[in-house]
Structure 1
């Protein structure tokens, strides 16, 4: 019984943690980009773990939302362990991708 309860709680928390960030603006284009940890998978210079997206083979650190806003970064499918796809809206500004909408795809 404890295993079922624990599984239910973990599933509930992971579902909650992976809700989209921001509100999609129907007047702006939506891009599907590779998203992952900048230092773990995109080999960016900055040390530590942080969310990044890749546009035309160039990785940008994301501002507005972060690694832990979209689940456990160190889970088997987390950003530090895998490159994922995300639907995003935003723009590159001063070397960062400033996200106004970010939805991690399954």
Structure 2
């Protein structure tokens, strides 16, 4: 019985840690999502009602963060991302803007 339980726990841990592709809102964590755990303007994503700072992409990778029409500090944009949550941060391996 212990072996079965161990295999189930092991399987669930791998299933939860795998990267997946999803559509999210992307913007500045401080300016648009109200995150306060770090200073300055930093890229964040929001899904399932919660926002997370991003590792693996920078806020200026998709243009000037302060551009009035498309900058992450000014607007919330839609993005398709592949990645996973690690703690309270989203580890992104790919990110494509949808708008």
Please report the TM-score for the alignment, with normalisation by the length of structure 2: 0.76
- Pick the aligned partner of 2:45 from 42, 53, 60: 53
- SS of the equivalent of 1:82 reads coil
Q: Secondary structure at the match of 1:70?
A: coil
Give the count of matched residue pairs: 79
SS state at 2:61 partner? helix
Question: What 5-or-longer segments of structure 1 have no aligned partner?
Answer: 1-27
Runs of 4+ in 1 over 3 A off after TM superposition: none
TM-align CA RMSD: 1.1
Distance 2:94 2:39 in 1: 25
Whole-Å separation in 1 of the counterparts to 2:43 and 2:20: 21
For 1:105 and 1:74, locate their aligned partners in 2 and report how far apart those are by CA, in whole Å: 19
Can you give the 5+ residue segments of structure 2 that lack an aligned partner in the other structure?
1-18
Q: Using structure 1 for the length normalisation, give the TM-score.
A: 0.71
> Which structure has the larger Rg over C-alpha atoms?
2
